[in-house]
Amino acid sequence: MKEFNLNTLVRKNILNIQPYISFRDHNEFKAPVMLDANECPFGEFNRYPDSSQKKLKKKIAEIKGISPSEIALGNGSDELIDLIIKIFCEPKKDAILMMNPSFAMYAFYAAVNENEVLKLDLDENFEILKDDFLKITQEQDIKVFFLCSPNNPTGNSVQDIEFFIQNFDGIIVIDEAYIEFSGNKSGIELLAQYPNVIVLQTFSKAWGTAGARVGVAYASEGIIRFINTVKAPYNVNSLSQELILNLLDNKEKLKENVDNILRERTWLEEQFKTIECIENVFPTDANFFLIKMKNAEEVYNRMLKEEILTSKRTPAIPDCIRINVGSREENKKLINVLKAIAS
């Protein structure tokens, strides 16, 4: 890895953009009369949210053991993915690299921003072949590499993440949407050592607040400064900020959610062994399974008729369906339907 210079990676026009700064959010007042933002003076949520999310960042920083200046919040991780591509990738010129198969939104936002998408095909165990990685990064000019770990939709974690960081001169994004289910260490621990790393996490999965749409980016102060420059001023609403703040005061809720999901994951894994239409259940570190089925199309449609919604992965991953862990009641219905299909 070459000596890291953030400004050489950021798009030139982004370097010169001045961020939107809310005067109200960047000053302290005891009892202000707020006539500055054309708001309605009546109503429970009549005021704009804190554009800098100070309280929430402070709370997250205390938990993660880092500075609030190393945290950016987004309207879900999707917004943060979009912003990262906008900041670093020149439209019609720069490329991103992603694992294949992996989370579809990396390619989606690259396409929206008119950037080329290069894909690194995974092996039969859904691992990255290091020689392939070295070859493509040496032959192609790549700005951002998205590493999803645990990977969606395969469920497995990326092995030897530091190898990829050390052998890449651009921005590496480690997407940890499912990290709480894996037992693995977070890439946040690597931030002090590697200034080109961004770690994404979310409150949608283990915390059970997908509807609140709150994603988090952890990175160097320099990278976070650019994210805060490009983001919309009020991208995380007041209700979501309050909800997550309250959740963070109740860490037992996270433990309860994760414990329940891991217990159900183990139960489902045992049940899957008894079902004839299942050919292979791939190892998972996430809250879902990738399952190879006999007659996957028929199985998927039969489940859909019973109003069991799953994620068909064909043709990208032939004969495979992704099924996430539900409640015991939901999981029992799933198993009963699969047994009926197999009989």
Percent of the chain whose pLDDT exceeds 70: 100
pLDDT in tens, 106-138: 999 999 999 999 999 999 999 999 999 999 999
> For the whole model, what pTM was predicted?
0.95
Same domain, 176 and 320: no
**Phi and psi (nearest 5°) for 60?**
-65, -40
Chain mean pLDDT for the chain: 95
Same domain, 43 and 64: yes
Same domain, 190 and 42: yes
Same domain, 199 and 274: no
pLDDT in tens, 35-53: 889 999 999 999 999 999 9
Looking at residue 36, the DSSP 8-state letter turns out to be S
Among 234, 249, 264, residue at a domain's last position: 249
Please, which pLDDT band fits residue 236 given cuts at 50, 70 and 90?
Answer: very high
Same domain, 294 and 203: no
Same domain, 276 and 303: yes
- CATH code, domain carrying 329: 3.90.1150.10
Residue 94 has pLDDT above 70, yes or no: yes
Average pLDDT of the segment spanning 4-25: 90
pLDDT at 72: 98
Whether 1 maps to a domain, the answer reads no
Residue 26 has pLDDT above 90, yes or no: no
Whether 57 maps to a domain, the answer reads yes
Same domain, 175 and 88: yes
Range of the domain at 315: 252-342
Among 201, 230, 249, residue at a domain's last position: 249
Rounded CA-CA distance 146/245 in Å is 28
pLDDT at 251: 85
| Helices 104-112 + 76-88 axis angle, to 10 | 50
pLDDT at 320: 97
Same domain, 270 and 198: no
Among 219, 249, 279, residue at a domain's last position: 249
Please state the domain count of the chain: 2
Percent of the chain whose pLDDT exceeds 90: 91
pLDDT in tens, 135-160: 999 999 999 999 999 999 999 999 99
Same domain, 129 and 198: yes
- Per-residue DSSP letters for 85-118? HHHH--TTT-EEEEEES--HHHHHHHHHTT-EEE
Same domain, 182 and 305: no
Whether 330 maps to a domain, the answer reads yes
pLDDT at 196: 97
Same domain, 63 and 200: yes
Closest CA to 100 of 316, 284, 310, 312: 316
